[in-house]
Amino acid sequence: MDIQKTPENVVLSLRNVSMSYQARRGRVRAVSNVSFDLHAGETLALIGESGCGKSTLILGLIRQLSKTGVVDAGEVVYRYRDGRDTDILKLSDRQLREFLWRECSMVFQGALNSLNPVLRVSSMVYDTAQAHGMDTKEARDRALSLFEKVRLDPLRVFNAYPHEMSGGMRQRTLLALALLLRPQVVLMDEPTTAVDILTQRSIIEVLKQLRQELNFSVIFISHDLAVAAEIADTIATMYAGEIIEMGPVEEVFYRSRHAYTLGLLEAAPRLSAGSQELNSIPGSPPDLIQPPPGCKFHLRCRFASEECKTIQPTYTPATTISDHIVACHHTDEVLAAR
Amino acid sequence: MSALSTPSKILDSPEHDTPDIMKRLQRIWRSYIFRVVMQGILTILAVITFTFFLIRLMPGNPVEIKMTQLMLSQNLTMDEARAMASTMFNYDPNEPVFQQYLNYMAKLLQGDLGRSIVSETPITTLIAGYLPWTLFSVGMGLLISFVLGVTLGILTAYWRGGILDNVVTAIASVLYGIPDYVIALLLIMIGGVQLKLFPLAEMLGGSTPGIEAGFRLDYILDLLFHAILPVSTYVMATVGGWILTMKSSTLATLGEDYITVARARGLPESRLLTAYVGRNAMLPLITRLAISVGIAVSGSVIIEFLFSYPGLGLNLSRAIGQRDYTVMQGIFLVTTIAVVTSNIFADLMLGWLDPRIRLGKEEGE
């Protein structure tokens, strides 16, 4: 899907966003200095190891971090359909409550636990509608048509309790529920991780189709690079709380310029490659309470030189023709190693 | 041929051959309520059987003892004494055990529990006199304690670490550690005798002697006045447990994904607190509630004794003191029925609150 990337159709814009958790040992800088623009209709996939800050980032930008987590700095500017801009981080609690789900909704990781076990799906639909002033009849009609779109038996699911549905059904129910109020942005935290491969396929198909019909933007977290490659327009690689490489999906996957992205790709199995070509990245992610100086990846990087140990690389455009940016001192060597 | 064709016909259309009444019966048979109630009835039957044989197996058969007593005290012949004793215990010791058991059960079904060995009044009359007092005081204590405990528990968990949490949790932990009879004694000794916070002597008993019973305001106020001490003892003895259990259950629920999702959906806090947090957190407490109803009905012995409250517990202790086996048997029966009924009630409540527990298919697909 081709999307227009112009400053006019940016729906969500993050500028220098940092988030941290208070731990006994000190502050855990889970997200530092993240900036990016999400355009209308764009799907952005965040990839990276567990603990790199992906989930913190998307929970933090709708202010749903757990009690110990805070957004330390930066702004998250959201543009309403009528062109008004607002900083989500500055909304009052009441404004935030109205903003959530109507403008920006979320599909969570554990489909099995994301629905209240004692309520019917219909109650959850009505609760959501009522909280945002949508009337009952409209909510019901909208929900039924969405259930049909995600290939569920609409009436049956509408009247069902969560435990009466399979994992795949629940995940699709959540997807439909996320679109109930026609949000511009949908955040997805590994929506396909907890389901089997066939269900995963059908959810991806449904998602692609919905995106075409309803035209919303998506920020998508995935450990599965194949899934990310299939549905994303833009890939952002996160390492130790920072976005270290970001660009169009073909650019990042076929012409990776950061050693860490390359490492992730080499660790993923491919049909065309033999098993001996799978390489994991040695070592483990750095301590985020006292992050290493210089490039945070230098301890695990095979390209690391003296300057990587002291000087933190800044974002540089990788090419002149695309908006592929990367923060690495050895982009050319990485590109050549591919 | 016809024998072979019939089963296949049934297989083809199971609905057509079943008459309407059968279908309805089948639905009742499969329903959750039916199963729960049947289970309860079976439990009660088992307990009745057990107590029946327990009384018969007691060393120094109480019927024989009573017979001897009657023969000596009222100058009766052995046959007369046996006849009298057997009406009291509801069985004739000369019949075969199984026959006795059947007779006992038949009388029980007609509501005849026999007579007290000591006062010779029918047990049903006695129980009908004590039971309302216990149900009233224990029921009120439990209700207040449960509602208070659940509310405070959910609030302390919600604002964990705040002043309310610290104060309430501390008080709850202390109360939880004190047995109910100690609380009752402290109330009497400190509140009533030393500090004279309330007129202890007037508050004892079930109602002020001489006041005419009836559905009148002064009588109802008098009843409430006399119930204050036992009810506050029950509340203080149990509320700590409710608060602590509800708090931990709420904390566990708050960590569930569906709460985060509900918050992200922008639901108002009130809806979140009731239908999402409260309802899920309360599930484990319902079973506890049923158990404590049972314990409260039989376990109020000491409290009722201390406050001379004329309930089942006070009369059970009196019956034990006088070796009044038939009254004991009757009170045990009532306690059993109370425990079983509250368990049925808990099961139905749970089924109503938690759809995952409903087993039978109550609604058509």
Between CA A134 and CA A236 the distance in angstroms is 35
Using DSSP's 3-state secondary structure scheme, residue A51 falls into coil
d(CA A337, CA B14): 70
pLDDT higher for B71 or B359? B71
Nearest residue to A241 via CA among A25, A20, A12, A89: A20
- Which carries the bigger pLDDT value, residue B332 or residue A115? A115
Q: Dump pLDDT digits (tens) for A83-110.
A: 899 999 999 989 999 999 999 999 887 6
- Judge: B266–A114 Cβ closer than 8 Å, yes or no: no
Specify burial of residue A283 (Cβ count, 10 A radius: 0-12, 13-18, 19+): exposed
Please report which helix (H) or strand (E) contains residue A76, including its range: strand A69-79
The residue type of B161 is G
A residues 152..171 contacting B (CB < 8 A): 161, 163
Q: Which residues of A touch B278 (CB under 8 A)?
A: none
Q: Among partner residues A109, A116, A120, which is closest to B262 by beta-carbon distance? A: A116
The CATH classification number of B125-346 equals 1.10.3720.10
The pLDDT confidence band at residue B10, using thresholds 50, 70 and 90, is very low
Lowest mean pLDDT, pick from A271-280, B132-141, B183-192: A271-280
pLDDT, one tens digit per residue, over B144-193 is 999 999 999 999 998 888 888 999 999 999 999 998 889 989 988 888 78
A155-179 tens-digit pLDDT: 999 999 998 998 888 988 999 999 9
User: Does the pLDDT at position B50 exceed 70?
Assistant: yes
Going along chain A from its start, the domains and CATH numbers come out as: 16-59+70-84+224-338 (3.40.50)
CA pair distance B10, B3, nearest whole angstrom = 12
- Asked if the Cβ–Cβ distance from B265 to A119 is below 8 Å, we say no
Spans of all domains in chain B? 125-346
State mean pLDDT over A9-18: 92
Q: Are the beta carbons of A62 and B264 separated by less than 8 Å?
A: yes
Tell me, yes or no, if B257 comes closer than 8 A to chain A by beta carbon: yes
- According to DSSP, residue A315 is labeled P
Using an 8 Å Cβ cutoff, are B246 and B154 in contact?
yes
Give the whole-number percent of chain B exceeding pLDDT 90.
15
> What is chain B's percent helix, strand, coil content, to nearest 5?
75, 0, 20
Asked whether residue B363 carries a pLDDT value surpassing 60, the answer given is: no
Confidence class for position A138, pLDDT limits 50, 70, 90:
very high
Residue A203 confidence class, pLDDT cut points 50, 70, 90: confident
Asked if residues B142 and B234 have their Cβ atoms less than 8 Å apart, the reply is: yes
Task: Give the DSSP letter of residue B71.
Answer: H
Residue B346 clears pLDDT 60, i.e. is over it: yes
pLDDT at residue number B173: 92
Q: Crossing angle for the helix pair B163-177 and B123-158, nearest 10 degrees?
A: 150
Q: Please indicate if any CB of chain B lies within 8 Å of the CB of A228.
A: no
Residues A188 and A109 sit within 8 Å (Cβ to Cβ): no
**pLDDT the model gives residue B228:** 86
**Residue B214: is its pLDDT beyond 60?**
yes
- The pLDDT of residue B17 is 56
> How high does pLDDT run on average in chain B?
80
Q: Is the pLDDT of residue B7 over 60?
A: no
Interface check for B20 against chain A (CB to CB < 8 A): the answer is no
Percent of chain A with pLDDT over 70: 95
- Residue A186: pLDDT above 50? yes
Which of B48-62, B104-118, B210-224, B275-289 has the highest average model confidence (pLDDT)?
Answer: B275-289
Distance in angstroms (rounded) separating the CA atoms of residues B350 and B339? 16
- Give which of B315, B289, B291 is closest to B134, Cα–Cα: B315
**Residue written as token pair 């190693």:** A337
- Give the ipTM of the model, two decimals please: 0.84
